[in-house]
Structure 1
Amino acid sequence: MSCLEVKSSSTGVLEKPNLPPSVPNVTYKIFLCGKTASGKTWTMNRLTGQEVAGQHVETVGVQCSNVFWPMKIGNRLILFRLELWDAGEASTRQYTHVLPVCREGVDAVLVCCSASDREGWLDLPRAVAEATQPADRAAVAVVLTRWDQFSKREVTEAEVEAFEASRGVPVVRLGAAASDPAQEMAHTAPTLNFLCRRLWQRDQELLAIK
């Protein structure tokens, strides 16, 4: 492979728990895309419990991290394994094989955008349209990073709600990591719950089509 590919086997937010064999395990591949400095790697590190860089560093090649997340769907406990894939924008442009590797077998696409980037927000409809292909049947969501930086925010709540209503694409709003690591779980749990429910719902919709 001509491009450096970095793969991490981090178990992220928690180690794979010891659950009874009767608990079903499901694995989903999630691709994070977006322009440079949109918060792709930052989002991946937040969700997998890894250290978050204080300043932007361009991702070289491909990074893949796993997070195990047990949750109940109805009355049934299920262990979700989420494979999060992130690729640097420069690498996807320079090496033609990088994007296909990230998109192969993808179950969900998270389009990242910074709330402090007005141009990126205005370009979001195009980015979402290009994020998936009809054959993917992937769930799509937008991750709006830096949402808590009110003085720098260039996107309003009304605009986000209008986007969700008109495009039918949910928007996850993420702020800074908690200063206390013990509280970080409470910050990321809602997003992980949302992703697992959305992926499970997508599977049920695909089964209904069949």
Structure 2
Amino acid sequence: MLKTRPLLILDWLQMPEGREILRSISSIQGDGLKPYGLLERPILPASTAVEDVHYKLAVVGKGGVGKTSTIAFLSGRPVPESHCETAGIQTTRMYWPVKIAHLNKAVLMNLTLWDTGEIAIKKFDHILPACKSGVDGILFLFSFVDKGSWEEIPHLLSRFTDPGDKLAKIVIGTKYPLQNQSMCFKDCSIFFSDLFMMNTC
């Protein structure tokens, strides 16, 4: 397994500069991020000079694994209480500050998350190419309580990625049960480490 050095200064958000920027993008209650529309941008403190770095991320997975809920949670929006298939394409904008280790430079990641439902991809030919066009990374979601959603991951990897591409690939497990009902995480870890040369944590 390849040893990698952290790309980001992981405790930077706990330092004064990081805390100040994070406070400016947090909700008034301080319990999550402020939601931003597609044309909005955070107002940062005058003392901070950070550039925007734009990334398009596609969020894929079997229907019902929690793609829309995960996006809502990450972006500071209310999480839907019931499942409803996403019609067409839904985009969500969120911002997250980071400090790049080797440059010692703070940047504001401007993330656009693209979400679409399985039915929409099958029904409309333009949905899948639109999601893949100009994409920088893909979040592959599966549910710990739905083994079929886990078994779908290799198919999604081959459908959305090409060998040797430079896309960031992140696999996220949702709906982790309190009881021991889920598949063995050790098997998941070995699968990604061996087959796709991906680090797991």
Q: Aligned partners of 1:34 and 1:80: how far apart in 2? A: 24
- Tell me, yes or no, if the aligned pair for 2:62 and 2:152 is still in contact at 8 Å: no
Q: Which amino acid aligns with 1:11?
A: Y
Question: Following the alignment from structure 1 to structure 2, what is the Cα–Cα distance between the partners of residues 44 and 77?
Answer: 24
Aligned to 1:98: 127
1:11 is aligned to: 36
Q: Work out whether residues 70 and 78 of structure 1, in 8 Å CA contact, stay in contact via their aligned partners in 2.
A: yes
Check 1:144–1:171 CA distance in 2 against 1; reply closer, same or farther (3 A cut).
Answer: farther
Q: Number of aligned pairs?
A: 161
Q: Deviations over 1:127-167 (max 9, x none)?
A: 222221348531111111112x1337422221222123112
Which structure is larger by alpha-carbon Rg, 1 or 2?
2
Q: How does 1:125-204 map to 2 (within 5 A)?
A: 125-134=154-163, 137-147=166-176, 149-151=177-179, 153-166=181-194, 167-170=196-199
Counterpart-to-counterpart distance in 1, 2:170 and 2:123: 26
Take 1:130 and 1:40, find their aligned partners in 2: how far apart are those partners? 18
Which blocks of at least 5 consecutive residues in structure 2 are unaligned?
Answer: 1-34
SS state at 1:140 partner: strand
Aligned residue in 1 for 2:141: 112
Q: CA deviation at 1:171?
A: 5.5
TM-score (norm 1): 0.69
The one-letter code sitting in structure 2 at the alignment partner of 1:110 is L
Counterparts in 2 of 1:152 and 1:100: CA distance versus 1, 3 Å: farther
Q: Which residue of 2 aligns with 1:30?
A: 57
User: Percent of aligned positions with the same letter in both sequences?
Assistant: 31
What pairs up with 1:71-82 in 2 under 5 angstroms? 71-74=98-101, 75-82=104-111
* 1:53 aligned to which of 77, 80, 98: 80
Partner SS for 2:108: strand
* Shift of residue 19, structure 1, vs aligned partner: 4.8
Q: Does the 8 Å contact 1:29/1:84 carry over to 2?
A: yes
RMSD between aligned alpha carbons? 2.4
- Give the TM-score normalised by the residue count of structure 2: 0.71
The DSSP-based 3-state class of the residue aligned with 1:102 is: helix
Deviation at 1:121, TM superposition (A): 1.5
* Cα distance in 1, alignment partners of residues 174 and 190 from structure 2: 18
